[in-house]
Structures are given as structure tokens and as C-alpha cells.
Structure 1
Amino acid sequence: MGLAQIPNVRAYWEVDTKYPKDLPSREVLFDFHGVPMIHSFSANWEKIQNFQARPDDILIATYPKAGTTWVSYILDLLYFGKTSPERQTSIPLYERVPFLEITISSTDSAERLTTSPRLIKTHLPVQLVPKSFWEQNCKMIYVARNAKDNMVSYFHMDRMTLFHPDPGDWSSYFKRFLEGNILFGSWYDHVNSWWKKKQTHDKIHYIIYHILFLGFLGYSEKLCCFLGLSSSLEERKQITGGVQFDNMKKNNMVNYSTLQVMDFKVSQFMRKGKVGDWKNHFTVAQNEEFDENYKQKMKNSTLQFRYEV
């Protein structure tokens, strides 16, 4: 059964006591406007591209497993943690901050949001973002994570997400990541195209993952300034505890444990969240190969990442 054919979206996504027998089979990548894609993110493409953004919408954009959930939760708490505390314990984060391109709900979840602003997330490369977000001059937050840790985290997500293409073993995945032959394409193209767009578009706020990792509180004033929020230091301190990785990992409204399309017996969706975990996966030879590849593909980029802290 394909995701687009599922009649009861919420019942399908949410776990009762066991995984259903008709979970989707793993999909196969195909070229979609120059980007490796699967039908679950492209089947309703016309509707996605015709999505009508509002001027106060906020788009959270990332390459997969680069801090999407983290920043989504931060923004949800900044905007609604104080005014609507009940949503934190009754509505999963994936409903509060819907995924724009997921076919099983398409843009419907985003269109149904009654909050102002609407917080919406996407993994689309910058050239595929619906034009209304640009026409409405929406604020966008892009999060980029160092490629080594991003690769490791994405590998484990692909292992446990049951409709994603089969990741194969670590060695083959490593090769395909460097080639950009994985879902949503090249890490290099993704982070660099958004970085280039940021240079001419002042409504894009570009966050490097390790800066948040070193402490949300220290970064929160800059983020709130971009968003136009006047939250007090005390309010930001209260948020800091909730957005610590270990606390999010235990929070069932945040950690995606209610999704049937993810097999937590294989891996946790929120696994480690560290800077430097790549060292537990890369061989010496792989690290040398990666560094050479990175040097070539990032030679014209001014982006700077840290691979350990």
C-alpha cells in the first residue's frame, strides 16, 4: 500500500499497540526536477507548489536530520509555550509543525493550522520551495549540520523509517551520501544553495547546528531578534530545559514515538544529537575519502562547520 492510498491518515501514523500488517514497503528513488525523490514526497506536487503561504508563516527548512525537530520545538515554545501550554501535552509536534511535502496529508495539515504564525517544516532544496513563500516574504529558518554527523544520523533514520529507500549497509550508504544519491539529494547542494540564497534574501536566518548545541540560551536572543519576538530572558531560560536533547528524547509529544512508519526497534528517531558521533562510524579510510571529497565540493563555499566540540 502506498502512503497516498491510506484512508485514515491519523490512525495510520499513530501507534496503538502494534505495527499494522499493511505498513508501506520501502520506496525507490527516482529523479525529480534534478533531485532524488520518492513518491511519498512528490505525488501531490501540484498542490504543494500551489500552496498559499501567508505573510506571517514561518518556514523551517533543513536537510533531513539536521535539527528540524529541535528548531521546530524551539519555535513552538517561543510562540505558543506560554499562551497555549495544553498543546505541549496533547498535540504531537508533527501536527503542530506539519511537514509540507508529505503526501499522506500533503498541504492539508498546514492549511488547517489555526495558529498565527503557522510553523511549517520542509526538506525541499531552495529551488523547489513553493513560490508563495517568496511572494509573501515569509521568514525562513534554515538549519545546517556538519556533513559527517548529518550522514550518520540520516543513515539511522533511513534504517528505521519504513517507507524510505533501503539504506543498505554503512559502507554503501557512505558512498551514496558523497555522491548525493539519497533522498532529497546532495548535502552539498542543499546547504550551499540555501546559504547562497540567504546572501540576497534578508528573511532567511541561517543556523549552524553546533552553535545551538553549545547552548540555546546564548543563541536565543539573536533568534528572537530575527523573529521579532520580545520574550524575556526568564522566558527563554524556561524554554532551555525543555529543548535539551535528553528531555526532548523522553517527550512523547516530540520524539516521534507515536508514528507507526518508524520502527523504534531498529533505532530511535532522536538518537544522540551530538557533535562528533561520526567518529563512532567512520573508518580512517572513510574519513580521508570524505575530507578529500569535501575539500573539492566546498572549495567555493564560505560555510564553516565544527566536527567536534
Structure 2
Amino acid sequence: MSKSETTLSKLLVESKCSQECKDDLLSSLPRDRGFFAEHLYQYQGFWYTPNLLKGVLYSQKHFQAKDSDIILVSNPKSGTTWLKSLVFALVYRQEFKTPLESHPLLDNNPHTLVPFIEAFDFNAQDTSPRIFSTHIPLGSLPESIKESSCKVVYCCRNPKDAFVSLWHFMKSLFLKDMVGCTMEEMVSGFCRGSSVYGPFWDHALEYWKESQANPKKVFFVMYEEMREKPEECVMRIAEFLGLPFTEREIEDGVLDGIIKLCSLENLSKLEVNTTGKLVNGMETKAFFRKGETGGWRDTLTPLLAEEIDKMTEEKLIGSSFRFFC
């Protein structure tokens, strides 16, 4: 088995999807070509690999949210790792008062500290408040999340940057040869919505609309805004979570310390994020590249960028929501 095949099997574990899942569910779902796996399957309007779908179904059945829980949500490659580190650091800032000297983020990848609920390990959380993350679309969230008073923070990114980040993420995991697709083919799939947890635009719009209708439940933040004004955004998130920074904390440099600790520039240089691996065998360095805004210009041709822009314009018809350019 090649290195790319080994990595793919660890990530997707398609062969481990239960026979019941394959026979009773997958065969009845719409199917399209996948770029992370041979096929993607549409469930409740969104697309998944068999393994990810199994995680969604498991979380829908078994995840029991508490009112004190914090759920971090994003489209794939839309600031997930950074959001996890920032929220973890601000929530537990009293327990770890010297973040630049001794902090769990110095020795643990953010994905270890804040698990995905579709990764089956949510029962291991015994802290309060519990912090989880997910890429699951709003309509497919476990009912306990919808019915409880837990808080949801959604991070949204420009679709062109999110796509390019996904493309490079695939290459960093040696998946390019395995999926056997060109960038043009992948852009086409992305635009028709056939990508992991896609359609990208529907995913973001659902959460944005919910944040407008229920602002005490869902907080919506743009990745580009976080890069431009990290202090302001972190303070707003803290306020939303009921954990506002005091003037004394700001004067004492607590906020600045968190921003510095969690900066992508700092996290990407830590040993745990350069040589470490997650429990599924994924190398932690795969989660860190440039993190730039507008970096898509270095990868996408004008024609491919225009294709994504056209789909964005079409998806936003009738909505006041706009992505950062």
C-alpha cells in the first residue's frame, strides 16, 4: 500500500463504515464523485465521505449537549484550528494565567484539546464548560444542541481562500495522486456543492441566518475580520460566551497574551505542530500553512476564481450577507 493510500485509509476509514451503514443508507443516498474518497454521499442536503457520514449519524444519535457547552463550527479549512485555540485560551484563561510560559496549547495541538463531535470522542470531555467543534451543517446538528442553551460560534471564510486551503491541505496529506483530479475538476465539484460538508455557501448562509434570528445562541464571525482585528473579535466572542474580559485583564496583558499565544505564526512553530501526529495518524503540520487573506490569488487562475465568484453571486441572491473579498 502506498503512502497516500495509507494516509487516506487513516483519515476516511471508508472500509470501517459498518455494513448496516453501507447497505441500508449509502445505497439509498445520492452519490457523486469525491476528491477525498471515491464517492461522496448526500445526506440532508450536504455531502460526506462514508466515514464522515457515519460520524454525523453517530453524533445525531448519541451527543447530549449541556447548557454550558460551547460548540465551534466552520466549513472545512475556514479557520477551525485558530478558532479552537483562541476559544480554548479565553475560556480557560483563569486556569492558565501565564499563557506564554505554561499553557496546554504549547504542548497540544488545538484539535486534541477541542475534539470534533463527529469523531466519536465527545464522551471524553469532563471539563466545564465543555468545548467541542464540528463541521456539521446547521440542519443536521444533534437535536440536543438545537434544544439546549449551549452557545455556537461560527467562523466563516472567503470561499476562494477556503477552497485553496483545502487544495493545499490535500496535497500536504499526499492525497493529490490518490484522488486523481485536476484543480479545474475540483473547482467544478466545489461549485456544484459536491465537496466535503458542501455546498460551502449553503453551510455558511444557514448559520448566518440563524445568527441574525437568534443572536444569543449563534455568534457569526468572519475569518478575515479576525485576522484584521483579532483583539476586537476575541473580546466580542468572550462577551457572547458570557466571559467578558475585565479592564484589569486588558491592562495586565491577558488579552494580548492570548492573541500572541494563539497566533498562527506562533502555533505553527511549536514542536507539537511541526512534528506531532493526531490519534488518527494525521500530521499536525498539515493544519498550518499561510493563513493569509486573499492568498487564493497565488493559486487560482483568473478563470477559476471567476467560476467561484459566479457561484457566490448566485448563492447570495436575495441575501444581505457578503463575504470578505
TM-score normalised according to structure 1 size: 0.82
Aligned pair partner of 2:72 in 60, 71, 75: 60
Structure 2 stretches lacking a partner, 5+ long: 1-8, 18-35, 97-101
Change in Cα spacing, 1:155 to 1:52, as seen in structure 2 (3 Å) is same
**Corresponding letter in the other structure for 2:318:** N
Would the alpha carbon gap of residues 89 and 64 (structure 1) be closer, same or farther in structure 2, given more than 3 Å must change?
same
- One-letter amino acid of the counterpart of residue 313, structure 2: K
**Cα distance in structure 2, aligned partners of 1:162 and 1:282:** 20
Corresponding residue for 1:225?
Answer: 239
Equivalent residues of 1:140, 1:204 under 8 A apart: yes
Other-structure match for 1:126: 138
CA spacing shift, 1:261–1:186, aligned 2, 3 Å: farther
Taking only the aligned residue pairs, the percentage that are identical comes to 26
CA contact (8 A) 2:275 2:283 kept: no
Match of 2:87 in 1: 75
| Residues 37 and 49 in structure 2, CA contact (< 8 A), matched pair in contact too | no
Shift of 1:45: 4.5
Residue 279 of structure 1 corresponds to which residue in structure 2? 297
Matches of 1:37 and 1:280, distance apart in 2: 28
Asked if structure 1 preserves the Cα contact closer than 8 Å seen for 2:268 and 2:288, the reply is: yes
Describe the superposition over 1:113-151 as per-residue Cα deviations: whole angstroms up to 9, x where unpaired: 121111100001100010101211210000000111011
Asked if structure 2 preserves the Cα contact closer than 8 Å seen for 1:56 and 1:118, the reply is yes
Q: Amino acid of the residue matched to residue 175 of structure 1?
A: S
Structure with greater helix percent: 2
How far, CA to CA, are the matches of 2:267 and 2:298 in structure 1? 23
Partner Cα distance (2:175, 2:124) in 1? 25
Q: Give the counterpart letter for 2:161 in structure 1.
A: D
Which of 197, 206, 215 is the matching residue for 1:193? 206
Q: Contact 1:158 / 1:166 at 8 angstroms: preserved in 2? A: no
Letter in 1 for 2:213: T
Q: Counterpart of 1:251?
A: 270
**C-alpha distance in 2 between matches for 1:49 and 1:288:** 37
Report deviation, 1:90: 4.2
Helix, strand or coil for the counterpart of 2:195? coil
Give the whole-Å Cα distance in 2 for the aligned partners of 1:198 and 1:66.
Answer: 18
Judge which range, 248-257 or 49-58, deviates more.
248-257
Secondary structure of the corresponding residue to residue 308 of structure 2: helix
State yes or no: 1:204 paired with 2:231: no
Distance 1:288 1:38, change over 3 A: closer
Q: 1:232-252 CA deviation, whole Å, 9 max, x = no partner?
A: 212111111112211111124
Q: Does the CA-based 8 Å contact 1:93-1:254 persist in structure 2?
A: no
For residues 41 and 287 of structure 1, what CA distance do their matches in structure 2 show? 28
Q: Secondary structure at the match of 1:304?
A: coil
Query: Does residue 1:32 correspond to 2:43, yes or no?
Result: yes
How big is the alpha-carbon RMSD for the aligned residues of Structure 1 and Structure 2?
2.6
1:217-258 per-position Cα deviation (integer Å, ceiling 9, x unaligned): 132222211111133212111111112211111124457841
Task: Give the direction of change, closer, same or farther, for the CA distance of 1:167–1:182 in structure 2 (3 Å limit).
Answer: farther
Would the alpha carbon gap of residues 130 and 162 (structure 1) be closer, same or farther in structure 2, given more than 3 Å must change? farther
- Distance in 2, Cα, partners of 1:256 & 1:77: 22
Query: Does the 8 A contact of 1:73 with 1:93 survive in 2?
Result: yes
Q: Cα gap change, 1:26/1:263 in structure 2, threshold over 3 Å: closer, same or farther?
A: farther
**What SS does the aligned partner of 1:192 have?**
helix
Label 1:57 to 1:252 Cα distance change in 2 as closer, same or farther (>3 A). farther
1:238 alignment partner in structure 2: 257
Q: Given that residues 74 and 134 in structure 2 are in contact (C-alpha distance below 8 angstroms), is that contact kept between their aligned partners in structure 1?
A: yes
Aligned counterpart for 2:310 among listed residues 288, 292, 304: 292
Question: Residue type of the partner of 1:294?
Answer: T
Q: Which amino acid aligns with 2:47?
A: P
Specify whether residues 262 and 273 from structure 1 end up closer, same or farther in structure 2 by C-alpha distance, changes over 3 A only: same
1:172 equivalenced with 2:172 (yes/no) = no
Quote how far apart the aligned CAs of 1:184 are.
0.7
1:270 matched to 2:288 = yes
Aligned residues: 282
In structure 2, relative to structure 1, the CA distance for the partners of 1:118 and 1:252 (3 Å cut) is: farther
1:182–1:144: structure 2 CA closer, same or farther, 3 Å change rule?
same
Going from structure 1 to structure 2, the CA distance change for 1:235 and 1:263 (only over 3 Å counts) comes to closer
Select between 246-255 and 186-195 the one with higher mean Cα deviation: 246-255
Aligned counterpart, 2:104: 87
What is the TM-score with the length of structure 2 in the denominator?
Answer: 0.79
